Amino acid sequence: MYIFVYIYIHIHKVQYKYKTLAYLSIYLSIYLSIYLCTQQHPCNRVTDRHTHTHTHTHTERFVKKKFFNSLNMSLTSILSAEAIENAVKDCQAPDSFCYKKFFQLCGLSQKSPQEVKDVFRIIDEDNSGFIEEAELKFFLQRFFPGARTLTEKEIKSLLTAADDDSDGRIGVDEFQTMVFS
């Protein structure tokens, strides 16, 4: 475990384009360690309702939710904190959020496609690969913790603008198209 902490501390000294690779290698190392551990030592956990055997799926969920989320890069590693704050301040009033203006003010529309995908992963809080309506409510708060929540009207407007396949959620390609539009 100490090796993971050592690697994690030194990642912050690495240039941005190599950080994703470093995070991925830590993720895979820990995933493999936990997976091998659970395969070699089956562990039963008794709860109030039933006995539950830890499986590969549980290991994967543990790694994704507990560890990988804590290593997620922050938005300020992609966008400037000042630009984010200015963009959030511009839409403080309810029903004043305009995604095109917001993406321009925070600088996201000037970033590379990979950086836009990284921002998408940060906004996709449950790591489902989609930004659902519930996550859109807290869209501004993902950029700036003290920001307001989006109104229902703003959520519907954002969904309508981005959801090309009408499945009620925004995929990474749809998000990228919306940012660069």
Q: Is 181 annotated to bind ligand?
A: no
Token representation of residue 44: 């039963």
Residue 154 assigned as binding residue: no
Question: 85: annotated binding-site residue?
Answer: no
Nearest CA to 104 out of 181, 38, 29, 159 is that of 181
133 is in an annotated binding site: no
Largest CA distance in the chain: 56
126 marked as part of a ligand binding site:
yes
173 is in an annotated binding site: no
- What is the C-alpha separation between 4 and 14, in angstroms, rounded? 15
- 3-state DSSP call for residue 166? coil
- Determine phi and psi for 62, rounding to 5 degrees: -60, -50
Q: What residues form the annotated binding site? A: 124, 126, 128, 130, 135, 163, 165, 167, 174
Q: What residues form the annotated binding site for Ca(2+)? A: 124, 126, 128, 130, 135, 163, 165, 167, 174
